[in-house]
């Protein structure tokens, strides 16, 4: 069924239905990337700070031979080497930048969704235009979701964050879900009423 064949109530429902999926996707993946960014920020900052301090101590010890004893200097060199290998292999700072960039993409989609969702419409033409704009945001969010990569360790952290911290507050616009549910019930009631009327007419014509 094309958009032009839909009733005004059906157009409103279709718009909210697309919005419901966008609302779920943006909320979920924004919070997911927020968790990723927080994790890599927590990891990268102390590692890079420790490498800087230990490298300075090692350089000072090499130059003066008097900052620490040889055993401590050797330990510092080994720890610096291990931290440098970890930093080079996992690249936490780069991971932080990547995840912040992806989080910003979801934020942009969320802002675009808000603009369409909050657009006040009255005429049928305006409702159809809003539906088409919502479809565009839906397509963008779907494509972004397909390109989203996962890290199973951080996904586990995110799962516990959802369970104990975020809980149900994961949707981008929480009140939009309630509006969708109300519109769905309204449309189902109208459909039921229409079916009953058609059945009554069919029985009376017999």
Question: Residue 130: what pLDDT?
Answer: 93
Of the listed ranges 72-76, 127-131, 145-149, 166-170, the least confidently predicted one is 166-170
- On the question of pLDDT at 140 being above 90, the answer is yes
Question: Residue 113: what pLDDT?
Answer: 95
Q: CA angle at residue 158 from 35 to 39, to 5 degrees? A: 35
Mean pLDDT to the nearest integer, 14-39? 92
Contact 95, 40 (CB under 8 A): yes
Compute how many other C-beta atoms are within 10 angstroms of the C-beta atom of residue 77. 16
pLDDT band per the 50, 70, 90 thresholds, residue 205: low
Mean pLDDT to the nearest integer, 138-155? 88
Question: Residue 195: what pLDDT?
Answer: 66
pLDDT band per the 50, 70, 90 thresholds, residue 137: very high
Going by the DSSP 8-state scheme, the letter that residue 148 receives in this structure is: -
The CA distance from 42 to 114, in Å, is: 31
* Helices 8-64/70-90 angle, 10° precision: 150
């Amino acid at each position: 069924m094309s958009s032009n064949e839909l009733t005004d109530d059906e157009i409103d429902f279709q718009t909210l239905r697309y919005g419901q999926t966008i609302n779920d996707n943006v909320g979920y993946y924004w919070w997911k990337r927020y968790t990723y960014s927080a994790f890599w920020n927590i990891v990268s900052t102390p590692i890079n700070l420790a490498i800087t301090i230990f490298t300075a101590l090692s350089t000072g010890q090499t130059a003066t031979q008097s900052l620490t004893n040889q055993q401590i200097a050797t330990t510092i060199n080994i720890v610096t080497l291990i931290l440098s290998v970890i930093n080079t292999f996992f690249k936490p700072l780069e991971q932080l930048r990547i995840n912040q960039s992806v989080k910003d993409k979801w934020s942009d989609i969320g802002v675009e969704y808000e603009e369409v969702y909050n657009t006040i419409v009255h005429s049928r033409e305006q409702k159809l235009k809003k539906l088409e704009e919502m479809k565009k945001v839906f397509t963008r969010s779907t494509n972004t979701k397909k390109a989203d990569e996962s890290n199973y360790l951080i996904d586990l952290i995110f799962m516990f964050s959802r369970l104990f911290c975020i809980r149900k507050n994961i949707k981008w616009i929480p009140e939009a879900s309630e509006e969708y549910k109300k519109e769905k019930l309204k449309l189902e009631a109208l459909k039921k009423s229409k079916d009953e009327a058609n059945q009554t007419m069919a029985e009376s014509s017999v």
